[in-house]
Chain A
């Protein structure tokens, strides 16, 4: 395989970028990981098997870390300074949610995992009110989420 370089083709690239240029964001991603944590904690308590319980703790820590990472991406990349005017407690909510995700890493207390879900849902409300579903998701995704956003 060989090709002739187009002489008109520029040698330099300029980035009209977004850190990840996909522009797709959805708190659902964090919520799914947080739901996993909740269920894993329930399964942990329901089991007597030490090996299974060890696996539960291991996997829960992974999932909680992922939830935290997804929250961070939303916080840094999706939300912009102008959103602060509209959602003055945006930073605090994210801070609390990220801290809560850390807490879920440490604990097997179901209530803490539940609290994480609630904080993610607060983030989700900001996302919906800022037009996230229309602006960041690829149009035409079937399913309940679009309906939920429409009735919110």
Chain B
């Protein structure tokens, strides 16, 4: 008798737990940790920085100017770049490094299709001394400036 009564709540518990696990896994599936190589995003992002990028925002909307994104290199698509969005037009984003002298970006390969944008960088979690939100900001100067 007692086992009969216990069955329903336990079923709910397991069902709810499974749903929760699925939801968390779904959310985590949209978050990627990445390591920065190269200095084109200095001083905000330095080589060796570890970041979290999320893909959820761009399921619902296009990238905004000033956001730091992870995007496939249009010339070699299995390789990922990290750059700042400096212009958005229908289906295309222009990306630049924050440190134009040490950056290969849209100045060279042109605007890239939005479909190549893999995620938005939102947190630098390593090194602890530089831990912080990677915010949206206007590009420092006219794209590329003097360099």
A-B contact count (CB 8 A): 100
Task: Give the bracket for the number of chain B residues in contact with chain A.
Answer: 35 or more
The answer to whether A17 and B144 have CB atoms under 8 Å apart is no
Residues on A with beta carbons closer than 8 Å to the beta carbon of B39:
16, 18, 21, 23
Bound together, the chains give a CA A80 to CA B126 distance in angstroms of 32
| A100 → chain B closest CB, angstroms | 25
In the complex the two chains form, what is the Cα distance from A136 to B142 in whole Å?
Answer: 20
The CA of A142 and the CA of B125, in the complex, are separated in Å by 40
B146 CB contact (under 8 Å) in A21, A76, A131: A131
Give the chain B neighbours of A18 by CB distance below 8 A: 38-40, 97, 102-104
Task: List 4 additional A-B contacts (Cβ < 8 Å) besides A9-B33, A16-B97.
Answer: A10-B32, A12-B32, A12-B33, A15-B80
Please give, as numbers and ranges, the residues of chain B lying within 8 Å of A16 by CB-CB distance. Answer: 36-42, 45, 47, 81-83, 97, 103
Given contacts A12-B80, A16-B47, A17-B104, contact A131 B38 (CB under 8 A): no
Does A51 touch B at the CB level, under 8 Å? no
- A interface bracket (residues with beta carbon within 8 Å of B): 20 to 34
- The answer to whether the Cβ of A13 comes within 8 Å of any Cβ in the partner chain is yes
Given contacts A21-B102, A130-B146, contact A13 B80 (CB under 8 A): yes
Q: Restricting to A19-38, which residues have a CB under 8 Å from any CB of B?
A: 19, 21, 23
Q: Does residue B107 face the partner (Cβ distance < 8 Å to A)? A: yes
The yes or no answer to A14 lying at the interface (CB within 8 A) is yes
Given contacts A130-B146, A131-B146, are A13 and B37 in contact (CB under 8 A)? Answer: yes
Name A's interface SS.
loop
- Which positions in B face A, CB cutoff 8 Å? 32-42, 45, 47, 50-51, 53, 70, 73, 79-83, 97, 100-104, 107-108, 125-126, 142-147
Contact with B along A122-139 (1 / 0, CB 8 A): 000000001100011000
Closest Cβ neighbor of B52 among chain A residues: A10
Q: What residues of chain A have their CB less than 8 Å away from a CB belonging to chain B?
A: 8-19, 21, 23, 76-77, 80-82, 130-131, 135-136
Q: Check A15/B38 contact, CB under 8 A, given A10-B50, A80-B107.
A: yes
- With CB as the reference atom, state the residue of chain A lying closest to B69: A14
